[in-house]
Structure 1
Amino acid sequence: MDILKVLSRATKNKRASATRPSKFPSAGSTETPQLYHDATEDARGKKRKRGGGKTEEQAHDGRDGDDGHDGEALDFFAPKPPKTKAKSQRPYVAEAAQTDTSPPARTSATPPELLEEGECRRILQSHRLKVTLLPRTNPIAVKAKVKKAKKNKATKEASTKAEFRQIFPQPLSSFSDLRKTYSISGRVAENLAQQGYQIPTEVQMGSLPLLLQPQLALGKDAARDLATSTEGPQINLLSVAPTGSGKTLAFLIPVVNQAIQRRRKGATDDGHSLDAIIVAPTKELASQIVNEAKKLSLGTGIRVVGMRKGMRVAGTQDDVQESDREQDEDGNDDPHKPGRQQPVTKADILISTPGLLLSSISSREENVHLPTVRTLVLDEADVLLDPLFRDQTFGIWNACTRPELTVTLWSATMGSNIENLASSTIQSRRQRLGLKKEFRTVRLVVGLKDSAIPNITHHLTYAATEPGKLLALRQLLHPTAGTSSGNQSLRPPFLVFTQTIPRAVALHSELLYDISAQAGGSSRIAVLHSDLSDSSRDSVMTRFRNGEIWILITTDILSRGVDFRGVNGVVNYDVPNSGAAYIHRVGRTGRAGRDGGVAVTFYTKEDIPYVKNVANIIAASEKQAGKPPSEASMQKWFLDALPNPSKEEKKQLKKHGVEARRGGLSKGNTTKDKGSRRSKMLISTRSGYERRLEHNRKGAIQGSKRREKEEMEADHDSGKGSEFTGFN
């Protein structure tokens, strides 16, 4: 036994155990789901005296009025301030949620107590919320006009401020205020209380007042710019919030409450009319939204339907009355009957992927219009407006012909091109319908735009080659295995992302027997991708949520929107195709403010030209978390050493991924060179000699079957055995 190895191993174990966090995302819920609680000063805008470090107000008064004595020196032996003042220094939302013990369904006859603009400004800034009223005209045309005119700097700044105006709406203090202040349905408020919702997240704090009652949230002066419909002032919303911050609940509460208010008015005889459409890019995300919507609308009579293949969407009122006797209580149609067309699906809220919904709308001879839809929700809007889904999304958008249509877009990453496209589409639709009034568009940004959540730990690991990545991943499978720098290990359950489906299948085959039989063996590892059937995908998702699967290998199909609150970490086995893909991948851990999540990214020689985007996102996330530069994992010298990819390289990476792992080989003209480079990209621990033997064996079997088939065909063509010669 080598004594040096024993001593070094003991040292590493001590270091790993010392830095191992006491909490993991799978440990349970947190005290507050909020991400930011910044300290703010009330003396905003006060001039500082030259040569002094205090404002004019602080020169004759204590900081924020804590000492309570004007012009007096700070007395360290003075009695402590009362508890009420100490409470006022705590985060605003957490204080309101803990002190308010009234039932959610209780209403108040007195007018709601609203905060002053200065207090709203302070609360929004402490939670890093920025709300902007976008211009009436197309932002693209405005920028082009300013650039063409070549105005001076002061004129440009003045025009920009006039077009994009920052506003400070009323923040939501607690979920109980939804009933008392914003008059939502009592049954919805009870459902929220039963599910344990007390403290709203940042995106819920800023978006719910705007979507429920914008006139009350903005005040009379700011609400003058809003267009008024039969239901009152309305807005379109572009919301950019971190992953796991509660965006699903933020757009479901207004949608469900609006459907309830419409049913109370008795708009239809049977009470069911398509009121809202929610579009999501994947089936898994759409199914998750359906489950959350059904929990929220329990006992309200609202019918929530998840779109499935073969369903027909009700367009006009005649379509609604066509068939209702074959609908079950959940809004699902009966199976297909021979010689009969599928009945019409009747729902208040329809949730679907863009392809399924558009095929149902355009399946008839004439395109079906949806004049009853009042709200269109685009979840993960940057993907839905990407060229991959853009035509399908616009097809659904144009089918909603109601003039007073409200559109809300939600995502954790939304570039300026997506914002401009959405704003221009809203404006062009208004001009096409000939509407004089317009619903203003409000942009809500939580934290730093297009950044990863700050409550997880990032690791960027250089593995050199493909076998190095496989070896590093195998080390993470052991609970006592730490990283090379002595950081905490990655505990199951966790997700492993690969670039392509074949690589996910190959990695699953390699790791199938890495977990001991005592711990569950191969049943603890699974793979999920789009080539699997819907039933298989649902089974894998259910087993992973129940804790039966510890390591789930998948592609980017699970990178967006899917909520796994107990996932302890994420492993990027292959470098993501873009910075947005990295943000959404690592956002599967650290949900709802849970600390202790770990994100590990492996990269090789082929990935070095594309790592700069990931490294910049990690650096920004660590800066948001308040980590000092000396402790940051992304040092300045490392960021400067990484090459900057060109626009064309970024474009090709986003479309196809790293070229060496997608089958396309740019270097090497000979077949031998291509074969050797392709073999280096394989996920396998077998040697080239073993793979060659297996290849030869399979080739021999296929050749034998081919020769046997050719002999049978030759015998059949020659007529052997085809004529009866009689008995001898």
Structure 2
Amino acid sequence: MDILKLLSRSTKQTGKNASGKGAVILPSAGTPANPQLFHDEVLESRGKKRKRGGEKVDVVKQGEEDDEVDFFASKTAAPKTKKGRRESGGEEESKKPETILDEPHLLDEEECRQILKSHRLKHTLLPSAKSQDKKVKKSKKGKADKKKSPSKDDYKQLYPQPLTAFADLRSTYRISGRLAENLATQGYKIPTEVQMGSLPLLLQPETAIKDVAELGGVSAVDLLAVAPTGSGKTLAFLIPAVNSIVQRRRLSEDKKHHGLQAIIVAPTKELANQIVNEAKKLSIGTGIKVVGMKKGMRVVEENEDTVQEEENSSDEEESDEDEEPKPSQKSKQPIAKADILVTTPLILLHALATKNPEKHAPMPSVKTLILDEADVLLDPLFRDQTLGIWNACVNPELRVTLWSATMGSNIEALASSTINERRRKLGLETTARVVRLVVGLKDSAIPNITHRLIYAATEPGKLIALRQLLHPTAKSADATQSLRPPFLVFTQTIPRAVALHSELLYDIPAEAGGSTRIAVLHSDLSDVARDQVMTRFRNGEIWVLITTDILSRGVDFKGINGVVNYDVPNSGASYIHRVGRTGRAGRDGGVAVTFYTKEDIPYVRDVANIIAASEKQAGKPASEASMQKWLLDALPKPSKEEKKKLKMHGVEARRSGLPSKDGKGDKMKISTKSGYERRMENNRKGAIQGSKRRAKEVEATAEDGGEESEWGGLDE
């Protein structure tokens, strides 16, 4: 037998085993070479007539692994594109930037179609205000016919220029040189799908689309972007915001002046703080000041109608003497110097409050409004606050961008109608239209994580299953995927999060860190306590973080290995955002485990459908899918009223978790023992370990001293 064939065969076998079940792939293992989620082979199926676009997409797919040389690469991958020139350095880098800036490389429409299709990007022009008015006709009875909706002809698909490399931001779209350096310093090389589809439109729509008349003849775009969790939406809206301010500051005489030009609204403080940190990284050396909104901060000039931030509080209404010194204190505080303001809705709305509750102080200098997690901000919970901020931005050149991983048709219609209605009031052209960008399948979970739906029957069953996952070598129910720390645990309410934390406090051995490895985070904690928990979790000091939906949206934990839904989420969108905390930026190996009991069976269907759609996107065969068709058909379908109640209040049985007269509340409690029993048991274990340690120390000293030392002690 040929020895070379034997050696090659054994090598292939070991490689196959390494990439199979034996290999452990975790999101915390490191940064992937390619952060993109979709890599459909569309270009190869269409032939190789146009190689320019094909070579460029191959560079985007393969990526560059930080100056590592691939000796087994094909010859077609050898020629460097503009991205390669920028990273090569030396004389080539110093000579070619000018030629690149003079002659930007643009793809033709067919190449754009192929690249956009291979990355599952879809740009759509939403119906304009005029087309919507035409569709509302009166019937013979004199009533408006509301059933008619815009036809397919009103939705026009676009094929703009895609961004195939971050180096093209400087060469083709003329962003600031300092901003381009900051992007290169942070290691951004390959754009994700949402960045590929949104940045050209937001930076230079006249370059991205040849016929600008399709957008209403405007030089800027209102964008509604729907992209999966962890796909880089924050960077996609920060780059245009920072670049536009830098370009304006170049033309201004007083370059040291800071005027509020962009507002970013986020639903939670954790997400707002994260956006501030990312914006500051991009603004290094540009002179742009990024500020996170705090209580009591002034952002507009004070006038006669301006009132205090907490004028309506009950404590101030009781005593007029306490109210008098507070206006003088606020008037002395200067207006915050900021170019970009990141805030939550309510705190900014308080700063804009006037004596007339229906009106707010205007912000004429704001030209960019960004709504991150827009579906929540336009939900009934935050809708009035968000629209109040939106209406306070009175600049005619205001451009609005909305971003989220889930966007219902009602939220989309509300955003589009608000933009069109604002244009009417300001007397602007109504021909301009909103562009919608959808990445992948709308309202679906990311395809690069593993979903597990586990039936635990009862509340004690869920607690036992979670304790099994805390074991270092624990695996999922089918024993195919391990779940390693760090991971997040989501509960329905704050009391349940606190109860689960106290129940699991002593489950991790003291040798591994004990109770310091488990923490809880919810909105009842102070801002300082929340910041400390977030910092410890990011530093790896906390392994298991129990929380509510406060951390389900937008917060980026790059090394999360898994997510555990201890309680079934209140909606399909909530499930998508929860499990999106793992598998960020194209990382594989994330696990999403969802426990459900008898009380959850009527509401599991939405979660099961999302899992089935995610597995279909990942290209998983129907025979290997965890959600079989018979299971989806067997699950009950909840009504609209049941979905609405679930979204507002969660599962009724575990809403309070307190003991009740009928005894149902006791079954929903997260406890097998009382807190006193758990504490005494932990103290008992510590005492036993201490006595064993002391006994070993006595034996060790006795062995060292021998018999003579004992008789010597007696003689003394």
Range into which the TM-score falls when normalised by the shorter chain: 0.7 to 0.9
Q: Distance in 1 between matches of 2:302 and 2:350?
A: 17
Matched, 1:241 2:203: no
Matched, 1:126 2:106: no
| Aligned counterpart for 2:513 among listed residues 501, 514, 520 | 520
> 1:341-352 alignment to 2 at 5 Å?
341-352=332-343
Asked whether the equivalents of residues 215 and 223 of structure 1 are also in contact (C-alpha less than 8 Å), the reply is: no
| Aligned counterpart for 1:103 among listed residues 86, 93, 103 | 86
| Aligned counterpart for 2:553 among listed residues 531, 538, 560 | 560
Q: Distance in 2 between matches of 1:362 and 1:132?
A: 37
2:271 aligns with 285
Secondary structure (helix, strand or coil) at the match of 2:394 reads coil
Matched, 1:529 2:516: no
Matched, 1:304 2:294: no
Asked whether the equivalents of residues 138 and 420 of structure 1 are also in contact (C-alpha less than 8 Å), the reply is: no
Q: CA deviation at 1:340?
A: 5.8
2:476 aligns with 483
Q: CA deviation at 1:262?
A: 1.1
Q: CA deviation at 1:672?
A: 3.5
Asked whether the equivalents of residues 362 and 368 of structure 1 are also in contact (C-alpha less than 8 Å), the reply is: yes
Q: Distance in 2 between matches of 1:88 and 1:510?
A: 56
1:684 aligns with 671
Q: CA deviation at 1:93?
A: 2.7
Which blocks of at least 5 consecutive residues in structure 2 are unaligned?
1-16, 65-79, 88-92, 142-147, 306-325, 679-716
Give a deviation string over 1:335-384, Cα, whole Å, max 9, x none: 99968632211210000000111001116788321001001000000000
**Pair 561,276 (structure 1): closer, same or farther in 2 beyond 3 Å:** same
Q: Distance in 1 between matches of 2:139 and 2:451?
A: 40
2:73 aligns with none
Q: Distance in 2 between matches of 1:373 and 1:414?
A: 25
Q: CA deviation at 1:395?
A: 0.5
2:216 aligns with 226
Q: CA deviation at 1:133?
A: 1.2
> 1:107-256 alignment to 2 at 5 Å?
107=98, 108-137=100-129, 145=137, 160-219=151-210, 221-223=211-213, 225-228=215-218, 233-256=219-242
Q: CA deviation at 1:583?
A: 0.1
Give a deviation string over 1:167-208, Cα, whole Å, max 9, x none: 100000111110011000000000000000000000000000
Asked whether the equivalents of residues 314 and 346 of structure 1 are also in contact (C-alpha less than 8 Å), the reply is: no
1:569 aligns with 562
Asked whether the equivalents of residues 336 and 342 of structure 1 are also in contact (C-alpha less than 8 Å), the reply is: no
Q: Distance in 2 between matches of 1:119 and 1:339?
A: 58
Asked whether the equivalents of residues 490 and 549 of structure 2 are also in contact (C-alpha less than 8 Å), the reply is: yes
Asked whether the equivalents of residues 492 and 551 of structure 1 are also in contact (C-alpha less than 8 Å), the reply is: yes
Give a deviation string over 1:92-146, Cα, whole Å, max 9, x none: 6346876432338934353312100000000000000000111212776566559
**TM-score normalised by structure 1 residue count:** 0.79
1:423 aligns with 416
Matched, 1:261 2:252: no
Q: Distance in 2 between matches of 1:354 and 1:610?
A: 31
Q: Distance in 2 between matches of 1:339 and 1:317?
A: 12
2:41 aligns with 39
Q: Percent identity among equivalent residues?
A: 68
Q: CA deviation at 1:18?
A: 7.2
After superposition, the CA RMSD in angstroms is 3.1
1:93 aligns with 60
**Pair 582,16 (structure 1): closer, same or farther in 2 beyond 3 Å:** farther
Q: Distance in 2 between matches of 1:138 and 1:500?
A: 45
Asked whether the equivalents of residues 452 and 476 of structure 2 are also in contact (C-alpha less than 8 Å), the reply is: no
Q: CA deviation at 1:571?
A: 0.2
**TM-score normalised by structure 2 residue count:** 0.80
The amino acid of 1:557's aligned partner reads: I
Aligned length: 609
The amino acid of 1:678's aligned partner reads: G
Give a deviation string over 1:554-598, Cα, whole Å, max 9, x none: 000000000000000000000000000000000000000000000
The amino acid of 2:156's aligned partner reads: R
Q: CA deviation at 1:42?
A: 7.6
**Pair 383,462 (structure 1): closer, same or farther in 2 beyond 3 Å:** same
**Pair 598,689 (structure 1): closer, same or farther in 2 beyond 3 Å:** closer
1:384 aligns with 377
Q: CA deviation at 1:617?
A: 0.0
Secondary structure (helix, strand or coil) at the match of 1:561 reads coil
Asked whether the equivalents of residues 377 and 386 of structure 2 are also in contact (C-alpha less than 8 Å), the reply is: yes
Asked whether the equivalents of residues 101 and 172 of structure 2 are also in contact (C-alpha less than 8 Å), the reply is: no
| Aligned counterpart for 1:441 among listed residues 434, 438, 445 | 434
Which blocks of at least 5 consecutive residues in structure 1 are unaligned?
1-14, 45-62, 67-83, 150-155, 320-334, 692-728
The amino acid of 1:113's aligned partner reads: H
